[in-house]
Amino acid sequence: MLEQAVALHRAGRLAEAAGLYRSLLAAQPGHRDALRLLGTLEAQRGNLDEARRLVARLQGVGADTAAAHAHLGDLYASARQFDAALACYDRALALDPRLAVAQFNRALALHTIGRHADAVAGYDALLAVDPGSADAWNNRGGALAALRRFDEALASFDRALALRPGFAQAGANRAAALQEAVRAGRARSDDALAAADGAVAAAPQLAEARVNRGTALRDMGRTAEALADYDAAAALEPGLAAAHLNRGMALAALARHQEAVSAFDRAVALEPRSVAALTNRGVSLAWLKRNAEATRDFARALEVDPARPAVAGLWLHARANCCDWDGYDEAVHRIIADVRAGRRVVSPLPMLALTDGAQDQSACARTWVRDTMPAAPVPLWRGERYDHARIRVAYLSADFGEHAVAYLMAGVFEAHDRDRFEIIAIASGPGDGGPMRARVRAAFERFVDVGQKSDRDVAALLRELEVDLAVDLNGHTLGSRTGALAWRPAPVQVSYLGFPGTSGADYVDYVLADRFVIPAAQRAQFTEKVVWLPDVFQANDRKRAIAARAPARAEAGLPDRAFVFCAFGNSYKITPAVFGVWMRLLQGCDGSVLWLLGGETATVDNLRREARARGVDPERLAFAPRLPYAQHLARYRLADLFLDTLPFNGGATVSDALWAGLPVLTCAGEAMAARMGGSLLRAVGLPELVTASLADYEATAALLAREPGRLAALKATLARNRDTCPLFDTQRHCRHLEAAYAAMHERQRRGAAPESFAV
């Protein structure tokens, strides 16, 4: 009967198992195994009062008092009530200081709740009594690894393996610790992989060993191979949540997000309180434009661990993406307070849409870099002097395809002076097979796909190529390889275009800007030295095609005779304050409509609800579907005025509108992200469309809507300037970039430290 009960218990059939345990106890009331196992089961089911009663019965049939307290502690620990468990273990050890099981499980509980230093002390106390406990040495190693004391951790695992040759779990844990040491720059990737290979060879049926080898491979950028190991681990032990979690992470890294969500579903089903599984599922859901669902996952993760780094920012960003503004201001204030306290609560990109404070944005970026991509302890480039006939420039980007960065930069890549510059692409994003990918690839002398390489390996490649200048076009955006620059692979490292703010990294030497987008007064908020280009910070490609035929307004779902305000930026850039201005403009301009980019259903529904709450008929909001780029540019011509966002201005969206002939109204703020629109308008000869406050922005928009002659004059100016202004002069901008690169290179060659300068 006991064997049957245990089998049911292990299978998760708790009610049936409990019935058999109780039948056994009815026949033999003092059966210690039945009492112990039924107590454990009741604790698993959350029936702690019943579990305590069963332990009291266990104690009453002759069990040692210290042992009974220790067992009650085990029951509390199985129910994850660790404070109560620790109190029981302390009571047990007060009665019998040498009770090994209480010492071990007390240390294990401390380890589980993250009190790793206390756990190490607990394991040490046990090992002083029982130095031959391989399990204690193994667990001690895990606690030391969590404290990032990797040398001591590896020594502990080695001691466990010496005491118990073939100890598979210790071998797997040793491999995992080596992986963490690699991430910390304290070990080599091939050492970690060799250890993981050894653990798998020693115990091919141990699922944890397969997970660890998969993670070693994933850290090396060998994600497809890692996925095979995670698949094997999940097959070996379907109930191992870590196998499904890591499988999902590998699938997400391969951009297979729908499959990743399914893997995370399984991990969450097995461990409903797993913050890692909930967070990663939320990220994949956000990739799939299912932000409302992602919001719920991030909220659940915060319920489990309110202090988990970055999750609060993910939660707020997902809500912003679907324009869910309930409690928005309060949430933003909490985020900013945490950033000022030095907590890694939000990543740098979403931060640009939360505040116009340049100092707060800078603090966010610095904290992010400090915690996630600090400078490597030993740089790869150590002052060697390269004697290349041409300056060797490597552009790093995940966006060499159908993406705004490629649309802006393609012409620059083609225009580089090949007599003076050797141009290399370091492409970290997946190839999309589109025409822009083909065009960009053809523009480079070398095009290297590093999508399956680790940051460390990308850095080694840059060093091997003897790159003079590494230009990061991503910054803190999706697919970024800024972490590769942490290894200092190049003499000069530059941030440009992709991220409108400071990298926060001391190992990035320069940021390219103009005098408007980064005024001299804001230079102190950048860890980089600022290089001011003479006209405009943003590159533009004057070859980008606009479809010959623009649709009729009726085809686009717009009224024929209405004034059309257009705002085609990302939905997370729309703030309640800016939306309020837009709704007042609709109220003041009879029949006018606001034309926005369409998104997920939740976004559209929320914006319509917000319009109604502000007294505007929701039907006056029109939503444009996604279209191929040339057709998208053509439909700008259906609108009358483009409205920029604040505090995160449009970048490529603004220049797209201007290229298509649509005037843009912007409001310039303090930080770089809030000054992009102003920079672009000044460079196209329309400074009068740059306002300094939301009140002026609203008044100017209302004036232009009322006075068609004034707006027609602006359109005529834009039409005249488009082919002659600096904004769309690709060759001119390329020459300015080259002058900046040459000056950086020359300064480094003569041994001078980076310094701000103007081209």
Residues of the chain short of pLDDT 50, as ranges, are 61-63
Please choose, from the candidates 456, 571, 48, 392, the residue with its C-alpha nearest in 3D space to the C-alpha of residue 218.
456
> What's the CA gap between 700 and 581, in Å, rounded?
12
> What's the CA gap between 405 and 672, in Å, rounded?
17
So what's the pLDDT on residue 383?
95
Quickly tell me which residue has 């004391």 as its tokens: 149
So what's the pLDDT on residue 166?
87
The SS3 call for residue 393 is strand
- Give this prediction's pTM: 0.85
Contact between 327 and 320 (Cβ < 8 Å): no
Structure tokens at 486: 């942490």
| Segment 545-588, tens digit of pLDDT | 999 998 999 999 999 999 999 999 999 999 999 999 999 999 99
Question: Domains plus CATH for the chain?
Answer: 2-237 (1.25.40.10), 391-542+735-758 (3.40.50.11380), 564-728 (3.40.50.2000)
Peptide bond into 647 cis (omega under 30): yes
> What's the CA gap between 379 and 382, in Å, rounded?
6
Quickly tell me which residue has 């756990």 as its tokens: 119
Contact between 321 and 571 (Cβ < 8 Å): yes
Quickly tell me which residue has 């890694």 as its tokens: 344
- Entry field: residues in the chain: 759
So what's the pLDDT on residue 61?
41
Please choose, from the candidates 670, 488, 636, the residue with its C-alpha nearest in 3D space to the C-alpha of residue 565.
636
> What's the CA gap between 37 and 22, in Å, rounded?
11
So what's the pLDDT on residue 59?
62
3-state SS of 340-381 is: HCCCCCCCHHHHCCCCCCHHHHHHHHHHHHHHHCCCCCCCCC
So what's the pLDDT on residue 60?
61
Instruction: Specify the DSSP element, H or E, that contains 582.
Output: helix 576-588
> What's the CA gap between 526 and 504, in Å, rounded?
7
What's the one-letter identity of residue 749? R
Question: How would DSSP label each residue in 229-262?
Answer: HHHHHHHH-TT-HHHHHHHHHHHHHTT-HHHHHH
> What's the CA gap between 643 and 300, in Å, rounded?
36
Distances (CA, A) of 218 to 489, 565, 717: 22, 47, 54
So what's the pLDDT on residue 473?
98
So what's the pLDDT on residue 289?
95
Please choose, from the candidates 480, 443, 444, 446, the residue with its C-alpha nearest in 3D space to the C-alpha of residue 462.
446
| Segment 95-133, tens digit of pLDDT | 889 889 899 999 999 998 989 999 999 999 999 989 999
So what's the pLDDT on residue 220?
87
> What's the CA gap between 310 and 295, in Å, rounded?
13
> What's the CA gap between 484 and 537, in Å, rounded?
24
So what's the pLDDT on residue 723?
93
Instruction: Give every strand in the sheet of 641-643, ordered side by side.
Output: 621-624, 593-597, 564-567, 641-643, 664-667, 690-691
Name 619's Cβ contacts closer than 8 Å, sequence gap at least 6: none
